[in-house]
Structure 1
Amino acid sequence: MVFIFLILICLSGFISPPIALLLGLVVANLAGHPFLHLNHKATTILLQVSVVGLGFGMNVNSALSAGKEGFLFTIASIFSTLTLGYFIGKWFSIEKKTSHLISCGTAICGGSAIAAIAPVIKSDEKQTSVALGVIFILNSVALFLFPAVGHWLHLTQHEFGLWCAIAIHDTSSVVGAANKYGSEALQIATTVKLARALWIIPVALITSYLFKNQKSKIKIPYFIGLFILAMLCNTFVPQTALVAPYLVSIAKTGLTVTLFLIGAGLNWKILKTVGVKPLLQGVLLWGFIAIAALVSIIYLS
């Protein structure tokens, strides 16, 4: 079976995350995904395990420094993106819940934010699918576009890591793009992105108030705690050095498989359901956050 063969290629370590994503897109639209009903759950679990594994290659002190620098960028970008998203949604007459999901996915952490916010606003399957489709399409573009732009502008690894953590939606694509750029970029991007993901909680609380649905349960990204524990072990437990390189290597392979599965879940039928206006909202928001973050990082940091 072609699908299984391609997963084995991803597991071999011979291809990069962007190529894995591209292979997923190809197989989704030519051969189809035989396990599509399991795809979302598989990518969620695999991504979380991979991110925790990457923590074994990171130092707490460096992570705290990166997180502190990214804090103000995070606050400014999240609330400006949510505000702009609201007005763009009104301007284009996009259904309110769909518009809010796209805004949250762009502002915080892509599909994870949408999955957390959707039950809070009680969005239906179509509204959630449209928002996820917009985010996943732009994530796929970002994985190829950002490293190319970074090299073209001669961004340092520090600058690139900070930029992609703020401007790329999903953690999977952030880690994939940063990993392609360099080890320092990977550490900064992963730390800042996971710190950013914690903003799901206050945004979900505000959302429940605005949508008058304060009884909904809010999904907390608990795996971030395991990521922090992995960093602590790598920094303060010397014995961890014996296994850390292997765990990081396995985590990077897991990320490659994750991106293949994400691509394999984006077939033509899903792309067609997105619609022009929601996609345009996503592009405008993404353009805003990417350009604003880049200018701020280059000239203000």
Structure 2
Amino acid sequence: MESAFVVSVKPPPQRAPGRARRVYAAVGAVCPGLVVAAAVALPASWLGALFPTVGGAVSGIVAGAGVGVVLRRILAPRHSERLRPGFTTAGRHVLQASIVLLGAGLPLGDVLRVGAGSLPVMLGTLAVALGGAWLVGRLLGIDPETRLLIGVGTGICGASAIAAVTAVVNAAQARVAYAMGTIFTFNIAAVLLFPPLGHLLGLSQEAFGLWSGTAINDTSSVVAAAYAYGTPAAAYAVVVKLTRSLMIVPICVILQIWQSRRRRAGREAAPGRGVWGAFPLFIVGFLAASAVATLGVVPASWQSAISATSTFMITMSLAGIGLSLNPSQIRDAGPRPMLLGAVLWIGVGGTAIGLQALTGRL
């Protein structure tokens, strides 16, 4: 009797697409939009350097919005949609990378030591900005995201703070535009009005540096107003402003924790996330870069290049946001965000002067 041996041969498994192929496809999807965002950011950065009161960030979002309108009119919808992944990557991931790089120019030790005397004024104005944004914005019927962006932009450091918070909360692009437009308007007003008001109040160089460093939104406007008052005022204002910029870190961490708890409300937390799940990676990177700068590892000769690169990346990211904007969404906002910005700007400026008087810093 013959015995039969049956050998079953399994067909070879289907090969999944390789990692290199997936990476290539992802890069190919985002490259067209990234190239357009970078192309818009180049002239916007030049304009920002030419007109520092305006700044590259504002130029980037305005230029991006204008170019976006043109592209939507001249390109077929399918070609226009091909650019969107790159715009989104610029508005989110390039933005986060720019904030990490920004940390390399903010040595924690030096800034905290020199700026410690400004903390009472700084914390008071931040409380007024955030509390006022919540209360006044609510009374005006402004949505929570726009309130938050205008509040942190006014209370911390203008476009950079708006950029950092946008990277955490993933705010709608139209709301970023409202906040940027509001901050830009009051940057211009501060540069024009603060120096004559400082002379009218009889402020010393150091007192004006503290006032402008805590009450003016963007760094470029702080520098412009303080230099108009005097070189000693500008030197002090820059240090105060750098210290104030560090408030981005706790604000972003608090926002991330709040968002994580809100997302998990009503359901069990995802396994393995723990405490670290509440910390956005770019904030961890920002802190690590600041720690490296504090240790003196980053040569002083690199600081100007780091600052220029970070500024260009922020401009590029905001150009990406502008390129994705729909102008009708901005028109629908009406005058209420601007009114909120005016109330906060006046409140922060008045609070700063009042706290300087109380602490003997006038």
Alignment counterpart, residue 187 of structure 1, candidates 225, 239, 247: 239
Structure 1 position 251 matched with structure 2 position 251: no
Amino acid in structure 1 at the alignment position of 2:190: F
Alignment counterpart, residue 88 of structure 1, candidates 117, 136, 145: 136
Q: CA RMSD in A?
A: 4.3
Aligned to 1:286: 345
Per the TM alignment, residue 250 of structure 1 is displaced from its structure 2 partner at its CA by: 0.6
1:39-50 equivalences under 5 Å are 39-41=90-92, 42-49=94-101
Aligned to 2:290: 228
Amino acid in structure 1 at the alignment position of 2:294: L
Per the TM alignment, residue 54 of structure 1 is displaced from its structure 2 partner at its CA by: 2.2
* 1:114/1:40 CA distance change after superposition, 3 Å: closer
Structure 1 position 140 matched with structure 2 position 199: no
SS in 1 for 2:246: helix
* 1:46/1:230 CA distance change after superposition, 3 Å: same
Aligned to 1:7: 42
SS in 1 for 2:105: helix
Per the TM alignment, residue 52 of structure 1 is displaced from its structure 2 partner at its CA by: 2.8
Deviations 1:195-250 (A, max 9, x none): 4542443466578889994969644522442343244233xx7xx6xx312x1111
For the 8 Å contact 2:186–2:342, the answer to whether it is kept is no
Per the TM alignment, residue 88 of structure 1 is displaced from its structure 2 partner at its CA by: 1.9
- Structure 1 runs (4+) greater than 6 angstroms displaced: 11-14, 206-212
Alignment counterpart, residue 54 of structure 1, candidates 99, 105, 113: 105
Per the TM alignment, residue 7 of structure 1 is displaced from its structure 2 partner at its CA by: 1.1
SS in 1 for 2:142: coil
Structure 1 position 271 matched with structure 2 position 330: yes
Distance 1:86 1:197 in 2: 20
Unaligned runs of 5+ residues in structure 2 are 1-35, 72-82, 228-233, 271-276
Distance 2:241 2:209 in 1: 4
Distance 1:21 1:162 in 2: 24
Indicate the structure whose relative CO is greater, using CA pairs within 8 Å and at least 6 residues apart. Answer: 1
* 1:100/1:177 CA distance change after superposition, 3 Å: closer
Identity within the alignment, %:
15
What TM-score, normalized to structure 2?
A: 0.58
For the 8 Å contact 2:98–2:311, the answer to whether it is kept is no
What TM-score, normalized to structure 1?
A: 0.68
Aligned to 1:122: none
Higher Cα Rg, which structure: 2
Per the TM alignment, residue 15 of structure 1 is displaced from its structure 2 partner at its CA by: 3.8
1:90-109 equivalences under 5 Å are 90-95=138-143, 99=147, 102-103=150-151, 106-108=154-156, 109=161
Unaligned runs of 5+ residues in structure 1 are 120-124
